[in-house]
Amino acid sequence: MPVLNRSQLSDIRGVTRMVVDAAEATADVVEKMHRTIQLRPGPLGEFVSDRTRGITGMVYRGVRGGIRLLGQAIDASLAPVTILLPEGESTTAQDAYRSVLNGVCGDYLLRTGNPLAIDMSLRFKGRPVNLHDPEGSLNQLAYTTLSHTKLLVLVHGLCMNDRQWFREGHDHGAALADDLGYLPLYLCYNSGREISANGRELAAVLETLIGNWAQRVEEITLVGHSMGGLVARSACHQGRIAGHAWLQHLRKLVFLGTPHHGAPLEQGGSGLEFVMNLSPYSKPLINISQVRSAGITDLRHGRIAPSQPIVPLPAGVQCYAAAAVRAKTRSILAERLVGDGLVPLNSALGRHRDASRKLAIPKNRQWVGYRIGHGELLHHPSVYTQINRWLRQPA
């Protein structure tokens, strides 16, 4: 019988806290609907925001208090057990479900101090790199001496993690290491945070890495899949504002299915909220419909900076965009609405009807693959061939 380790117990505590918080939030929704029904407003009348009163209110307060006490008791009973368990490592399955939870509600996990919240780190072979002694750390993880001066940083997308660059027996990073001599470093981060927050932290991580890198760094290349491309752009933007030195080494930036101008998925969620907001009877349910992270909300318009709606590509950096279309051939419907299943073609290529919002990606640095889905950008042979071709070009 397998022995429970600290990582698994930490996840159990995190899930327990989420269940308790969800139960308390559900009690709030039910109480608000109960109060609305008591007052009987019209179908399109004014929303009632106050709680129930009297004995009914006392019952709801008791329910919420009981839920909180139960959650605190469970958490307190599990805490002392942690030190008795072996360290252990998280499995691929654990990392996958934790990444999905972070993508959907990572800002909540961070705000509540939930142990399921993912801390940003650079990884190599699935292990975190010590930013204060990167080369020593990498040499231990590789079991040999590394002398790379070409760094490739791969940034995953929403609800994903660093392990998921390996798909269908292929990893863009490992293949580029073999073919072009790059050292692949994989970012792991909480994709439910605001994109600008992740961008700011990534910029700081790269600044620390380069500041402690003993050898002369020839170049840094960033490859971002989906949301990862927005995080990379945000890091460049905020790193330049902060005067970071790592940007002096940045040569190329590759986007794979990045929604530069937003993704329809979040836009649909916003429309649902608008409809539910029309009636006082459905308005309490908005709390349920809003169970999606700040990161997902940022995808609505491809927002990478909180106070600057239009952010140009980093100056002096060669930028490339690979987009995919699920259809076999070109058509307006397939490219503008369907795209790769998540991101429309124009959004992935940085095109926009408003000239001020277009991204300056030259046509010879754009590529479109047909009969390819969003996830397939991570392993499709033709996508890798194009990335390889771009990175072989002199910077």
Q: How confident is the model at residue 32 (pLDDT cuts 50, 70, 90)?
A: low
The reported pLDDT for the residue numbered 61 is 61
Contact 116/109 with Cβ under 8 angstroms?
Answer: yes
Q: What is the pTM of this model?
A: 0.82
pLDDT digits 0-9 by tens, 211-249: 999 888 899 999 999 999 999 999 999 999 999 999 999
pLDDT over 70 (residue 283): no
d(CA 392, CA 388): 6
Q: Count CB atoms within 10 A of the CB of residue 219.
A: 15
Q: Are strands 219-225 and 150-155 parallel, antiparallel or unpaired?
A: parallel
Question: What is the mean predicted confidence (pLDDT) over 314-328?
Answer: 93
Q: Which of 44-48, 234-238, 303-307 has the lowest mean pLDDT?
A: 44-48
From first CA to last CA, the distance across the chain in angstroms is 55
How many residues make up the chain in this entry? 395
Helix/strand number for the chain, H first, E second: 13, 10
Q: Write out the two tokens for 25.
A: 């939030």
Contact 223/184 with Cβ under 8 angstroms?
Answer: no
Question: What is the mean predicted confidence (pLDDT) over 299-308?
Answer: 86
**Type and span of the H or E element at 252:** strand 250-256
Q: Cβ neighbours of residue 318 under 8 Å, at least 6 residues apart?
A: 251, 252, 253, 365, 393, 395
Q: Which CATH class is domain 121-265+295-392?
A: alpha beta
For residues 316 and 51, which has the higher predicted lDDT (pLDDT)? 316
pLDDT over 70 (residue 29): no
pLDDT digits 0-9 by tens, 160-194: 999 999 999 999 999 999 999 999 999 999 999 99
Give 274: exposed, middle or buried? Use CB within 10 Å, 0-12, 13-18, 19+. Answer: exposed
